Structure 1
Amino acid sequence: MDRLLLLDGHSLAYRAFYALPAENFSTSTGQNTNAVYGFTSMLINMLRDEQPTHIAVAFDKSRQTFRSEEYAEYKAGRSATPTEFSGQIPLVHEVLQALRIPFVESEGYEADDLIATLTTQAEAAGMDVLICSGDRDAFQLVSDKVSLLYPVRGVSEVWRMTPDKVEEKYGVRPERYSDLAALVGESSDNLPGVPGVGPKTAAKWLGQYGDLTGLVAHVDEIKGKAGDALREHLDGVLRNRRLNQLVRDVELGVDVEDLARTNWDREEVHRVFDGLEFRVLRDRLFEYLEPVEAESQGGFDLDTNVLRSEDVTGWLEHHAPKGSRVGVHVVGTWGRGTGDASAVAVATPDGVAGFIPLIDLDEEAEAALASWAGDPERHKVLHDAKGPMHALAARGIPLKGVSTDTALAAYLVRPDQRSYDLADLVLRHVGRDLKPEAAAQPQGMLDFAADDDAAADEAMVRARAVLDLADALSQQLDDTGGTALMADIELPLVDVLV
């Protein structure tokens, strides 16, 4: 079943602006980011939790709408929009463009009108619709096919409003909510209601007469002070109803079919999130929402070999001799200057890969591995080598001959990045996917068992990925003058840091 997620961009960003303290959300250059951070955080959560097939975000274009033309006092009580907020809306647009999420706006209309238009189209197309908005006017859109997520505490807590929930809270079904709001008024829109008439009285009238039209037809039957007040303010009630009723046929230039989720631009996400210094949000995005990139060339085709003790010496001599360069991935855990390794994967440029379980490795094989690992003439490429060096050292296996560290190479090529995740770098620079589970696991934290073929294959793929990544970064290192820095400063410093 197709599912359309519609978000009120202005409403959600505005809530985030006041919910998140500005002093805690700004870049090193002084750009405030609390509104765009809160909006992006909620967006990621919505994509993760709701799994929509279609999505769009609606924005107000300006305060001048057909409503303010009819009633000059419409929303007149609101203070001027802080420049610290309005300056973040283009940043929200940048985030959406990087994620390839369409957004819509239209002169003379509010975001909720655009949401109402798309909701009407989606219902006609048989879609389920989920709206996320902090504007109560959106309650009138709720139906058996349309639910509303209404933020009630900043951007972290929401109510999921269904027709029954709306009726439970306001005493009327969603299709009568605009009638009720016309009677009661809406202070945030500066639409005064009937004095002395609250939601319970308004709901009672609507229940008795069916809707606002029925109530108007029988207005002379309403007794007491409330009836007098209704008759006295009836023109204002009808005006409120005209203004709060959402428009469902705005010309947007897009249809719901155009809102299908598409692959997002990983490179652009890096650029935008780096500029906003959204490291944590980027990690969440990549963890929960691994994209399927159209430009990806797929996985790695390897001749894989899980080596027994008697195979280790011969395999290393044949496939990783002196003068060769291979990719290495160490399976294990490390931190705080220590660690332990459970396996080593080695991949060669000709497509052969070997996996050496260290558990139960006999003395001869362990000695051969230690001799190979400690030989500086057997060149090895690793990603973030410090941890693996600790893990191997804990087993008495020194690691020498590291000719390239791809994490350091990526840093030298693009020092403005906040993250140098292997899977992400391989997709960016090599155009190939590591398996999603590999992408979600930090290097060295795989849950490996010696008889687990999937874990062995994954480790060998990562070894080959490191080797290919080193080749891809080599020319860029030359172009940026990073080759000498790598050889003369960065790699020698790794040993010092270890």
Structure 2
Amino acid sequence: MEHDQKLVLIDGHALIHRAFHAIQNPLTVSTTGQDVRAVFGFTNAFLKCIEEINPSHIVVTFDLPKPTFRHQLFTEYKAHRKPSPPELRSQFDVVRNLMHEFQVPIFELEGYEADDLLGTLCTQAEKFGIKSIILTGDSDTLQLVTPNVQVMMNSGTQKQTTYDINAVKNKYGGLGPEYVAQIKALQGDSSDNIPGVPGIGIKTAINLLLEFGSIDEIFNNIEFVKPPKAQTNLKEFKELAYSSYELTKIIKSAPVTLDLDQAKFGNFDRNNVIEFLSSLEFNSIIPRIPLQFENHADIPYQNTDKILNYSIVENESQLDLLIPKLQNGFSFDTETTSTNAMETKIVGISISISKNSGWYIPVGHHKGNQISQDIVVKKLSPTFSNPQILKRAHNAIFDITVLENIGIKVIGLEFDTMIAAHVLGRRNLGLKDLVLENFGVEMTKIEELIGSGRNQITMSEVEIHKASQYAISDADFTQQLYEKLNQEIIDAGLIKLTSQLEFPLIRILNLMQLNGVSVDTELLNSMSDILGNQLHQIKVEMFELIGHEFNLNSPKQLSELLFNELNLPSTRKTKSGFSTDAQSLDDLKTTLDLGNAIEADPRSYEVLSRILEFREISKIKSTYVDALPSLVNKKTQRIHTTYRQTGTSTGRISSNDPNVQNIPVRTELGRKVREAFIPKTPLNTLLAADYSQIELRVLAHFSNDLGLLQAFRNGEDIHNATASLVYNVEASDVTKDMRRIAKILNFGVIYGLSAHGISRQTD
């Protein structure tokens, strides 16, 4: 056998299920109406596997619908699983037919699962001296990893993770593939309805196997097992542990035979495959089909460029020819050196006016023919600022901020495909996710151009030709999404919402981002010194109170102090001991107040209070006081946030990098931080404007609550009125804190806040 031969074993059922659930909306064949999203996802994974691995042999395995030997061992095995929906079941035969077209052998055997066939076939391949890669979505197969067998875990869309022995050990705390079945036997597997041992989670299972070496040795040394609860459960459910092990173990001796001649990949009729994929309307995939070949060492792939009308605008005359073509509207995108719209440098602009066509205007690449940025700004500005020429973009606020910073004002923005998708209820709003979901096309990931981690480069370092294909594709598919989503917006009756509210709001938020906000850095620096001294003083007093030093930022050391030294009641369990988060400490204070911890050290209440005080000061110092000055833009001397219209499920605007909507207000210290946000000059004033309890007005309208309606008719402050009732005081005697709590109660009614949630927010 040749040294470089590799066998790919495909877990057909797992991949089809993953693909179906990864692509949320149906992908239908226009002529038949059949949903083929799972087929598309499977085909993508199949071709990607060929491109990355270059296998010499391929086989695929499937489960049969009949019971297996595992059902005989445990009648409830997989019993909780709901039947696959009809639109999924019909796609299995389509995938089988696809594999027949590729001449890939299919293995399925009554009484056995696909995992057992994978285990048997890769074991046989090892005897032939062939390395194997299992393509699956099922972590059970990690037990099959050996020096000659790897598992490529597919998420159903674009993400794949390859596991060798070291990767398995990293995943399971140092335990290798031979322990995977034992881990699952102890912890159980809800996806297969394997019970395991009640109360034994994955961390406990790993720790037990690390300590004792095997399930057998755990039970041989059961009296030494800790914690006591785990020992009790293991004793009680010993038989369940062993029966679960039999269920999780993959068989490697199923009655199937690997025929290397039949499994050799490449002996297919390419025209037949093209015809089959064309019938499914998978046109974007066809160029990726490899040619037939005898020796699989070098597989030529077709380039899709020839079926696309993509052009690079390299000089001023080409730009002059382009501009008249944009007068009827266009979609655009920008390529930049970073994702910070205010700080980044522009690398290029891509434009598209119709499907499968577009232009790339490079301006900031390190090498290659390109037009100067000044000329591009001068030439394009009249087109971009003309309100009669309508524009489309995806996440437009980023691109128009980038363009405004180089002198191109964008007026006449008609459509944002990301916001449209959000309004239509899509969950995945990234351009590549939407393109995969709507067109079944897997776009090039940015990491394929710039890399990741330490070796990552910027787009300016990418060759212009490579960058152009990526960039134009973004504009091209933005144009295609616009055409599709715009029709969906019309059909859903959402034109008024988008055209009169959501899309015009982009420009307003863009101006807010560009304007930014001034901060008093001197005040913040002074606060930093004061807070630093306060933190030091708390440490000194705490060390004196306890009698020794400890790390107030260490959950492990705090856990030791609180639950061992001070003998406080235990909270929920975490990696480092018992929980010492804020809620847990507040609960402990409540327990002490109620007198339910009589064995606790008398110093406990003061210790808990000082820890919480230390944390509040530390958080405000690190998150706001120390961080905000570093976020001031060197050019504008202001802080510029990013506003998102798609960041919340309630429709509210969100802010990040930094979040200027979350500046503390509940405490005096937090309000001091707010004082650092100042007008541009002493002659200016910061104006705060807000709708007056708009959600509660809507609630009053729909509920016809007489009290609410009367309060609004009288022009009362509804939160003030609620506080007056709750605290039984006159409206004039309601304090700010009373009103704050009443506000939480009022909005809690609307958004379904639980009693526990209200108690946490009002504490």
TM-score by length of 2: 0.37
The residue identity in structure 2 corresponding to 1:235 is E
- Matching residue of 1:397: none
Aligned residues of 2:134 and 2:149 also touching (Cα < 8 A): yes
- Whichever residue aligns with residue 115 of structure 2, its letter is D
- Asked whether the 8 Å contact 2:125–2:258 carries over to 1, the reply is no
Distance 1:28 1:177 in 2: 46
The one of 265, 279, 282 aligned to 2:286: 282
Partner of 2:100: 97
In structure 2, the residue matched to 1:291 is 292
Q: Secondary structure at the match of 1:192?
A: coil
The 8 Å contact of residues 186 and 193 in structure 1, kept in 2 or not, is answered as yes
Instruction: Give 2:26's match in structure 1, choosing from 23, 26, 30.
Output: 23
**Inter-partner Cα distance in structure 2 for 1:140 and 1:165:** 12
Please state if 1:36 is matched with 2:39: yes
Q: How does 1:230-245 map to 2 (within 5 A)?
A: 230-245=234-249
Paired with 2:161 and 2:127, the residues of 1 have a C-alpha distance of 25
Corresponding residue number in structure 2 for 1:85 = 88
- Give the unaligned 5+ runs of structure 1: 295-331, 337-498
**Residue identity in the other structure for 2:274:** H
Change (3 A) 1:258 1:249: farther
Q: Equivalent residue for 2:566?
A: none
1:248 corresponding residue in structure 2: 252
The answer for the alignment partner of 2:157 in structure 1 is 155
Q: CA deviation at 1:158?
A: 1.4
CA deviation string 1:9-28 (max 9, x = no partner): 01001111111134334342
> Any idea what SS the aligned residue of 1:164 has?
helix
1:218 aligns with 2:206: no
Report the 3-state secondary structure (helix = DSSP H, G, I; strand = E; otherwise coil) of the residue aligned with 1:187: coil
1:96 maps to amino acid:
M
Contact kept, 8 Å, 1:75 with 1:190, in 2: the verdict is yes
> Matches of 2:309 and 2:207 in 1, distance apart?
66
2:13 aligned to 3, 6, 10, which one? Answer: 10
- 8 Å CA contact retained: 1:59, 1:103: yes
Confirm whether residue 167 of structure 1 aligns to residue 169 of structure 2. Answer: yes
Q: Say what the alpha-carbon RMSD is for the aligned residues.
A: 2.3
Q: CA deviation at 1:63?
A: 4.5
After superposition, the Cα gap between the structure-2 partners of 1:292 and 1:258, relative to the gap in structure 1 and judged at 3 Å, is closer
1:89-128 superposed matches below 5 A = 89-128=92-131
Question: How far apart in 1 are the matches of 2:74 and 2:292?
Answer: 47
Q: Which residue of the other structure, out of 50, 53, 61, is the alignment partner of 2:53?
A: 50
**CA contact 2:61–2:107 (8 Å) conserved in 1:** yes
How has the CA–CA distance of structure 1 residues 335 and 189 changed in structure 2, closer, same or farther, with 3 Å as cutoff? closer
Residues 45-100 of structure 1, C-alpha deviations (whole Å, 9 max, x = no match): 10111001111011001241111122111011111111111111111011111111
| CA deviations over 1:370-420 (Å, ceiling 9, x no partner) | xxxxxxxxxxxxxxxxxxxxxxxxxxxxxxxxxxxxxxxxxxxxxxxxxxx
Mark the CA change 1:189 to 1:333 in structure 2 (over 3 Å): closer, same or farther. Answer: closer
- Provide the secondary structure at the position in 1 that maps to 2:112: coil
SS at match of 1:18: helix
CA distance in 2, matches of 1:136, 1:116: 13
Q: Which residue of 2 aligns with 1:60?
A: 63
2:164 maps to a residue whose letter is T
**Is residue 74 of structure 2 the alignment partner of residue 71 of structure 1?**
yes
* Correspondences of 1:260-275 after superposition (within 5 Å): 260-275=264-279
SS of aligned partner of 1:279: coil
Whole-angstrom CA distance in 2 between matches of 1:140 and 1:166: 9
Residues 148 and 333 from structure 1, CA distance in 2 versus in 1: closer, same or farther, beyond 3 angstroms? closer
CA distance in structure 2 between the partners assigned to 1:123 and 1:254 by the alignment: 11
CA distance in 1, matches of 2:10, 2:275: 24
Is the 1:121–1:255 contact (alpha carbons within 8 Å) kept by the matching residues of 2?
no
Letter aligned with residue 239 of structure 1 = S
Partners of 2:223 and 2:102 in 1: CA distance: 56
Amino acid at match of 2:161: W
Partner residue of 2:144?
A: 141
CA contact (8 A) 1:22 1:33 kept: no
1:253 is displaced (CA, Å) by: 4.4
CA 1:333–1:271: 2 relative to 1, 3 Å:
closer
d(CA) in 1 for partners of 2:283, 2:14:
24
Deviation for aligned residue 1:201: 1.6
Distance 1:333 1:60 in 2: 39
Counterpart AA for 1:16? A
**3-state SS in 1 of match to 2:40:** helix
The letter for the 1-side match of 2:292 is P
SS at match of 2:111: coil
Aligned to 2:196: 193
Task: Measure the CA separation in 1 of the matches of 2:5 and 2:117.
Answer: 19
- CA distance in 1: counterparts of 2:102 and 2:235, whole angstroms: 52
Which of 194, 212, 234 pairs up with 1:209? 212
Give the % identical residues: 35
Question: Could you tell me how far 1:333 is from its partner in structure 2?
Answer: 12
User: TM-score normalised to the size of structure 1?
Assistant: 0.57
Pairwise CA distance, 1:272? 1.3
Code of the aligned partner of 2:214: D
Q: What displacement does 1:264 show?
A: 1.2
Against the structure 1 CA distance between its residues 88 and 219, is the aligned structure 2 distance closer, same or farther, given a 3 Å change threshold?
same
- Report what 2:187 is aligned to: 184
Aligned partner of 2:198: which letter?
Answer: P
Distance of 1:21 and 1:221 partners within structure 2: 49
Deviations, residues 290-318 of structure 1 (Å, cap 9, x unaligned):
22389xxxxxxxxxxxxxxxxxxxxxxxx
Aligned-pair distance for 1:256? 4.3
Q: Letter of the aligned partner of 2:234 in structure 1?
A: L
Paired residues of 2:26 and 2:36 also in contact (CA < 8 A): no
**1:106 alignment partner AA:** L
- 8 Å Cα contact 1:8-1:57 kept in structure 2: yes
For residue 196 of structure 1, report the CA deviation from its aligned partner: 2.2
Compared CA separation, residues 81 and 333, structure 1 to 2 (3 A): closer
DSSP-derived class of the 2:242 partner: helix
SS in 1 for 2:26: helix
